[in-house]
Homo-oligomer: A and B are copies of this chain.
Amino acid sequence: MKPPVAVVVLAAGAGTRMKSALPKVLHPLAGWPMVRHVLENVRRLKPARIVGVVSPGAKDVAAAFAPHPTVVQRQALGTGHAAKAALGALKGHRGPVLVVYADAPLLTTATLQRLIDECRKAKAAVGVLGFVAHDPTPYGRLITNGGMLDKIVESRDADEAEKAVDFCNSGVMCLDGALIASLLGAIRNNNVKKEFYLTDAAAIARAAGHAAIAVEGDEAEFQGINSRAELAVAEKVMQQRLRAAALEAGVGMADPDTVWLAADTKFAADVTIGPNVRFGTGVSVGAGTEIKAFCDIEGVRIGRDAIIGPFARIRPGSDVADRVHIGNFVELKATRMGRGAKANHLAYLGDSDIGAASNIGAGTIAVNYDGYGKWRTVIGADAFVGSNSSLIAPVRVGAGANITAGSVITDDVPAGAIAFGRARQVTKKGRAAALRAKLKARAAAAKRAKKS
């Protein structure tokens, strides 16, 4: 049996170009902190260990690695120094050690697996992922010879022949676990920046008579993120991957470029999504459901054959059963809608439980907050809540009850009852003209007062 892999994730970069109080690797991408994408991708390699390397005081970054351990790189002395900080946590590990970057979340599991496999095949002490660069100017070049990686030459140190090479260094490496300590130990900082470059491990391995190889990946996967603009580009790439997968699975999207997916969004086949729909994390959508334009949906399981939107907003903690309709300008928050229940127009249902086939009228508010506590509204099956009603939680409305439009419901309503809480209409014939004259005069007086 092959010894398992270990992964070191370098996450100690400063990220100053983001101009943000939030650590760079915690900035969101498809709804997840950037580093989580890297962790999910390396987890699929089924590694024996994952170790994060973080900068001093970066508690939130360390927390994002949990349950995986992190070590602190005390000073920012280069990638070689950062990798060395992980050696303690790798003690006893004999298999390959992958070194990846928390700010390069587009690198796929498949490419990493290929690097590991090639290293095993070549019994290489060091393997480096490279890419053929569209513009190689800024990158270190991978100088190979007969299948072996001879050395990695920094762009500024390259001679003319080396500059002509367009096979570039991604920085992602696979090192032999039995040799990693000695390889990293041999890296020196005799360079302009006085930093220890992980890159040097390749030449060190070759000098010691070991094999070193370079494995090619697609340039797009190695995009690192150092600025808000680069983050936006990575988000676009990520979204295009997610959208392509959804289309392939049978999701209909009139304009996929305007559907924003989270890394964990789940769709059954024959879901239809209009333009301009944003999915936060934690959403699953059942077969045959249509989500119309302009929706914002997060943290909800939506059943089959439901109709959502346009202009619907569903917040976390919700559950929407089969055949439910949620219409325009309706907000659900931590609300369960039973099978076939409807809330089609202008409503706020917070902390509510709406029974199957119940109808919630336009303008209904589940009044869940009193300034101090949040309370639940529980409505049974087949109830009818009239428009513009206010349900003062905690309150229960029984199955089959009718609430008359415009009512304020403060007390529980038994099943099968009618409840109303509204004043009787009074009509004063012919009186509008006098009222209007009064209002008109008031407006005119205010206008005069403003002028003077």
Q: Which residue numbers of A lie inside 8 Å of B, CB to CB? A: 18-22, 27-28, 227-229, 231-232, 235-236, 239, 244, 247-256, 258, 260, 269-270, 274-276, 278, 288, 292-294, 296, 310-311, 313, 327-329, 331, 345-348, 350, 359, 361-363, 365, 367, 369-373, 375, 384, 386-388, 390, 392, 400-402, 405-411, 413-414, 416-433, 435-436, 439-440, 442-444, 446-447
Contacts and interface: CB of A to CB of B under 8 A. Distances in A.
Given A416-B430, A442-B372, A260 B252 contact: no
Taken together, the copies of this chain in the complex come to 3
A228 B253 CA distance: 8
A37 B99 CA distance: 50
Contacts of A258: 258, 275-276
A362 B422 CA distance: 19
12 contacts: A21-B288, A228-B253, A232-B256, A274-B278, A362-B367, A363-B388, A367-B387, A370-B443, A402-B436, A416-B431, A418-B435, A419-B426
Nearest to A231: B252
Given A293-B278, A367-B387, A418 B446 contact: no
A31 to B, nearest CB: 9
A422 B331 CA distance: 25
A298 to B, nearest CB: 10
Contacts of A447: 373
Nearest to A293: B278
Contact of A427 (B390, B405, B417): B417
Given A275-B278, A276-B294, A411-B425, 17 more contacts: A20-B269, A20-B270, A21-B288, A228-B248, A229-B247, A232-B247, A258-B276, A294-B296, A363-B365, A367-B388, A371-B402, A372-B436, A372-B439, A408-B422, A417-B432, A418-B431, A419-B425
Contacts of A21: 270, 288
B442 A20 contact: no
A149 B249 CA distance: 41
A105 B59 CA distance: 48
A84 B19 CA distance: 50
B252 A235 contact: no
A386 B400 CA distance: 27
A407 B392 contact: no
A435 B370 CA distance: 10
A215 to B, nearest CB: 28
Given A250-B18, A296-B311, A372-B443, A405 B367 contact: yes
A120 to B, nearest CB: 36
Shortest beta-carbon contacts, A-B, top 6: A19-B250, A373-B443, A406-B408, A421-B425, A372-B443, A228-B247
Interface centre among A372, A421, A426, A433 (most CB of B within 10 A): A372
Nearest to A18: B250
Given A254-B235, A345-B331, A371 B436 contact: yes
A304 to B, nearest CB: 12
Contacts of A410: 425
